[in-house]
Amino acid sequence: MTPLVRSVRSADTLTRDALAVLQPGFTGTTAPDWLLRRLGEGLVSVGLFGRNVADPAQLAALTGRLRAEREELIVAIDEEGGDVTRLEVRGGSSFPGNHALGAVDDTELTRAVARELGRRLADCGINLNWAPSADVNSNPANPVIGVRSFGADPQLVARHTAAYIEGLQSAGVAACTKHFPGHGDTAVDSHHDLPRIAAGLLTLQERELVPFRAAVAAGTRAVMSAHILLPALDAEHPATLSPAALHGLLRAPEAEGGLGFDGLIVTDGMEMQAISATYGIERGSVLALAAGADAICVGGGLADEGIVLRLRDALVRAVREGELPEQRLAEAAARVRALAGRARRTGTGEGEGAAPAPGIGLTAARRALRITATGPYRPLAEPVHVAAFTPLANIAVGDETPWGVAAELARLLPGTETATCTAEAAAAAGTAALVDGLLTAAAGRRLVAVVRDVHRHPWMADALHALLAARPDTAVVEMGVPQAPPQGALHLATHGAARVCAQAAAEALTGRRPSPDE
């Protein structure tokens, strides 16, 4: 009977290890029964998204219920602040994103913003944040990083990445620095396809890897891999599935040219098309573990019990068939459990109880604002007409989160109205008709044009040019990367579309700040 007992115990251990390496999501604002059951069977991590968040009290109750089932639990969220927010998905973030912080270039401010963000996460029971983005936004055409990056200079990105990690982790929340080895030099969104980066190894060392070395030195608890192909490093596998990228570069000792990272390696979402459309989620997860990843992130798009069981069974089967070494799975599971133990209850155990700094986000947004005037400009004093030139939101940002300055201007100037202009509308009506419609709707009121990455959208640039030709007194607010030359009677670059960035812009346009009662 002894061999049978060992076999049963081994099978149970293997199943628990397979569950331990998964970071799944779920739907709803309460924990489903299947999730609680799987926590009892060995699941160690849960990922939260905007769909799981109603308000801080609900979120704290949700994480408390999860921990009632498993005390040592990683509760992760994708809360970058700025354009990518889950805590404030329906209202816009109280914190500017990385690009705004990079524009200010005050590491103490970045550290303070991250600390306050971490404090709010910890108060809600979250102890792992899939942030910060350490990508160097070297390609202005990048459709998925942009304002999520601190900037295009590797040294600037490095010092702010380190400051962000220090601030976040000082509040008791583990940082997960992303997207290794760097997603900044891409013109393709890995949510939709597999980006290819042609940079050589020397460029990689001198540009992409600089912030990640700083992150490791700052003590980041986790690193998230990118679904990008770097032929100079691995001509066949994207970084998430590449032993050369994960084991050979991220884990390798510094003496051997690596980063010497010994923390948790987390994959980006495995349902993203760069992986799922090429390898399939099950095979992709097996290859990621074999390459050196420790935790499989899934749940942004696939968020039911079925995906958890599919991945669990795929990993168990891969071990039994010799495709995935059992020791590699055990090692990965041990790293996940170690972080869960360290992050017990609401934080990493260091610096908990951070003093609240509720106004730090708005302070940072005001400091990030860059104003260019081409001539005399009278502050707005009466209701205006806002033309919001709205591009298609990338999946990381999502389309649930409002953006623009209309709501904030309406608070200061009641009666302000807005019109949304899209690429589809411009194509259907033509630029001239679109602009004529805006001028008619404005009915003589002053105009504010709001754009987002105008340098990446020809339709937007054409419509803005036509609008300014007709109404040169129009103010322009750029809420993306301010790559294009300033235009308009007054040009404001907010370096992001967070709610506080809109508030700072509205204050500048009107020349006044709302009273606490407004």
Q: What are phi and psi of 517, to 5 degrees?
A: -85, -15
> Are the C-beta atoms of 192 and 147 separated by less than 8 Å?
no
If DSSP states are collapsed to H, E and C, what string results for 375-389?
A: CCCCCCCCCCEEEEE
The HSE-up count of residue 125 (CA atoms within 13 Å, CB side) is: 24
Which of these is catalytic: 78, 135, 234, 268?
Answer: 268
Known catalytic residue: 191?
Answer: yes
> Are the C-beta atoms of 451 and 403 separated by less than 8 Å?
no
Tracing tokens 């050369």 back to the chain, one arrives at 244
Kindly write down the DSSP assignment for every residue of 238-307, as one continuous string: -GGG-HHHIIIIISS-GGGTS----SEEEPSPTTSHHHHTTT-HHHHHHHHHHHT--BEE--SS--SHHH
Q: What are phi and psi of 159, to 5 degrees?
A: -70, -30
Q: Is 23 exposed, middle or buried (0-12, 13-18, 19+ CB in 10 A)?
A: buried
Q: How far apart are CA 27 and CA 23, in angstroms?
A: 14
Q: How far is CA 222 from CA 131, 176, 177, 480, in A?
A: 9, 4, 6, 28
Two structure tokens written together for 501: 């960035």
Known catalytic residue: 153?
Answer: no
- Using the CB atoms, write b or e for 84-103: b if 16+ within 10 Å: bbbbbbeebbbbbbbbbbbb
Q: How far apart are CA 79 and CA 432, in angstroms?
A: 40
Which of these is catalytic: 183, 191, 491, 495?
Answer: 191
> Are the C-beta atoms of 439 and 409 separated by less than 8 Å?
no
Kindly write down the DSSP assignment for every residue of 33-46, as one continuous string: HHHHHHHHHT--EE
The DSSP H or E segment spanning 77 is strand 74-77
Q: How far apart are CA 77 and CA 86, in angstroms?
A: 7
Rg, C-alpha atoms of the chain: 24
212 Cβ contact partners less than 8 Å away, ≥ 6 residues apart: 134, 161, 177, 180, 181, 182, 223, 250, 259
Q: How far is CA 492 from CA 149, 390, 508, in A?
A: 19, 17, 8
> Are the C-beta atoms of 373 and 489 separated by less than 8 Å?
yes
Q: How far apart are CA 142 and CA 396, in angstroms?
A: 13
The candidate with the shortest Cα–Cα distance to 97, out of 399, 433, 447, 500, is 500
- Using the CB atoms, write b or e for 316-326: b if 16+ within 10 Å: bebbeeeebeb
Strand partners for 417: 385
Catalytic site residues?
A: 191, 268
